Chain A
Amino acid sequence: MKTVNQKGWFFVLPVLVLVAFNALIPMMTVVNYSVQETFGDNVFFWEGLGWFEQLLNSERFYAALGRQFMFTGIILAIEVPLGIIIALSMPRQGFWVPVCLVLMALPMLIPWNVVGAMWNIFTLPDIGLLGYLMNTTLGINYDMTQDPVAAWVTIVTMDVWHWTSLVVLLSYAGIVSIPDAYYQAAKIDGASNWAVFRYIQLPKMKTVLTIAILLRFMDSFNIYTEPFVLTGGGPGNSTTLLSIDLVKIALGQFDLGPAAAMSLIYFAITLLVSWVFYTVMTKDDAQ
């Protein structure tokens, strides 16, 4: 007869406790808020799925969601190809390798609110170096505090500056892990540089690139600090991304219920998109 051994649970227990504290309990708190209404004083009223209904029928939510997808779409469309190009042009051995790697890593080491503040000051039309140059020397009307297009250009540029390095570093790791023999084999086959990229480097980079895109998607979709510091969601609502809107509702208006409902929908979208993307990208390997 097989002995039932339940001791295994003891070994899993610490992890369960940890996950419960850092994920399950906070998450359940949000779920709890999302179905109730409160006016403070720790008094709650049952609301059911009312907040979800209200949210899914609100133009404000869809506008923020639309801006969010636009932002994420634009930065992915720029950062991924740009990151690959930079990674491909980086040296693969010698003195310049560590120099390039450190230079690449620098933007990522800067705290996010500092990044926002830096770009804010950098682009202000009166005192910022870039803003001043654009407006006076180049004569281009550029003011991200007034013009939505300028505000978008600024937050996108800032994100590209801040995070392209991540794509570069991951792609670079993928490229350097390719043994020389494959490059040689491709040369002997008579392959052009494009063919080498398409049939050797890209397939080899696929795994790390999937991770890079996933990370960039999740991070950019949840982005808050930098645009908050930079534009505060303005001018008007033009750069009010999802999380900025969320904080406005939760803290600005103290509407905990709708904010909680929004968090959950937000979370569900992030999860769904990531899952679909990951499944599609790894489908080939499973075969």
Chain B
Amino acid sequence: MTIELKDATKKVGQITHIKPTSLTLETGHFNVLLGETGAGKTSLIKMMAGLDPMASGQILMDGEDVTRLSTQKRRISLVHQFFVNYPHMTVFDNIASPLRVAGMAKSEIQGRVEEAADILQLRPMLKRRPQELSGGQQQRTALARAIAKESRAVFLDEPLANLDYKLREELREQLPELFAGRGAVVVYATSEPEEALLLGGRTALMSDGVVTQFGTTADIYRRPANLTAARVFSDPPINAANVVKAGDTMRMGTISWDVQGAATGLADGPYTVAVRPHHVSPVAMDGAVPITGEVQVTELSGSESSAHFQMEAASWVSLAHGVHPYEIGAAHEFWMDPTQCFYFAPDGQLVA
């Protein structure tokens, strides 16, 4: 099973929501759409679901052109960020509704609903109505409806965003198993980089209505194609600053270090350096570049502590294990690992 977008665009009035996008999504793994709020994830999903019309381009499912096919006929499932269940129907009827519409036999409906309910631990709630359920149970009902139905594609639009932390973790662990072996293309939209990494599979980075990079999640994390991709795939946001290469030296304001690895081959000139917060440590390391900044905000989570600090060139974040004593307003020394730096050309493309 595949979903293929060919130069698909979407407009609302005169405003372009999705710029020409070509993308092939396959079954067998999660396809994560990762982007900030407003990046166009929901727009793209709605377009693939046929809920919103495409302005131009084509969409193929399994090679079949479904561009003009109505949502009803696309055989898909969609789970929203907010919990959408029919309020006047019981949980059973909610899960059964797409099967009934499809005209399935009663006994088969019974079997399928119960199977889905068992997987999602909804068996005791089958006779209840959605408003008598907790948020987690309501979302599980919506997921059960998506599972029970034989769909070619399952779209999950930030399905865990409105659940509390604990439930989110629990359901996220279950999700890959839920859809494994069902043959549907699973598309999962999220704004959290961590979620994309946890779910694995492939990731399409989205920003400003366009897919900036698509590939296996690990690859994209290791090699963001451009500065935007690097920014999206980092939480806290990736540290960036302007640097100038001169010979074997990288110069960032008054700080400089020896160019290493692939960057040695770069021509002299201006670049942007980007380094993830956990590669900027408050603890001295061998080969690390010392940088000094004034600590402005700190966040301690017990297992990790982060510090936002202001240098002359930019404001950066350091993220480190354990609890570190920072003094707000005081100058601290941090160590940046130069082997973990990305370099981007002035047009934003990764060069090393």
Interface residues of chain A, those whose CB is within 8 Å of chain B, are 181-182, 184-185, 187-192, 195, 199-200, 203
- For the complex formed, measure the closest distance between the CB of A235 and the CB atoms of chain B, giving whole angstroms: 48
CB of A190 within 8 A of CB of B98, answer yes
Some 9 contacts from A to B, beta carbons below 8 A apart, are: A181-B80, A184-B78, A187-B70, A188-B78, A189-B98, A189-B149, A190-B98, A192-B72, A203-B86
Q: A181-B82, A182-B86 are in contact. List 5 more A-B contacts (CB 8 A).
A: A188-B51, A188-B98, A189-B98, A189-B101, A191-B72
User: Which residues does chain B contribute within 8 Å of A189, judged by CB atoms?
Assistant: 97-98, 101, 145, 149
Interface size class of B (residues with CB under 8 A): 20 to 34
User: Which residues does chain B contribute within 8 Å of A190, judged by CB atoms?
Assistant: 72-73, 75, 98, 101-102
Give complex CA distance A203, B93 in Å.
14
CB of A187 within 8 A of CB of B82, answer no
Q: A195-B101, A199-B97, A203-B88 are in contact. Are A188 and B49 (CB under 8 A)?
A: yes
Q: A182-B84, A185-B86, A200-B86 are in contact. Are A191 and B78 (CB under 8 A)?
A: no
User: Which residues does chain B contribute within 8 Å of A199, judged by CB atoms?
Assistant: 86, 89, 97
User: Which residues does chain A contribute within 8 Å of B101, judged by CB atoms?
Assistant: 189-192, 195
Complex: chain A residue closest to B83, CB-CB: A181
- For the complex formed, measure the closest distance between the CB of A281 and the CB atoms of chain B, giving whole angstroms: 13
A187 contacts which of B71, B87, B89, B97 (Cβ < 8 Å)? B71
- For the complex formed, measure the closest distance between the CB of A209 and the CB atoms of chain B, giving whole angstroms: 14
User: Which residues does chain B contribute within 8 Å of A200, judged by CB atoms?
Assistant: 86
Q: A181-B82, A200-B86, A203-B88 are in contact. Are A188 and B97 (CB under 8 A)?
A: no
Give complex CA distance A52, B98 in Å.
58
From residue 43 to 101 of chain B, which have CB atoms closer than 8 A to chain A?
49-51, 70-73, 75-78, 80, 82, 84, 86-89, 97-98, 101
Complex: chain B residue closest to A199, CB-CB: B86
User: Which residues does chain A contribute within 8 Å of B102, judged by CB atoms?
Assistant: 190
From residue 93 to 138 of chain B, which have CB atoms closer than 8 A to chain A?
97-98, 101-102
CB of B84 within 8 A of CB of A187, answer no
CB of A188 within 8 A of CB of B77, answer yes
User: Which residues does chain B contribute within 8 Å of A191, judged by CB atoms?
Assistant: 72, 97, 101
- For the complex formed, measure the closest distance between the CB of B237 and the CB atoms of chain A, giving whole angstroms: 32
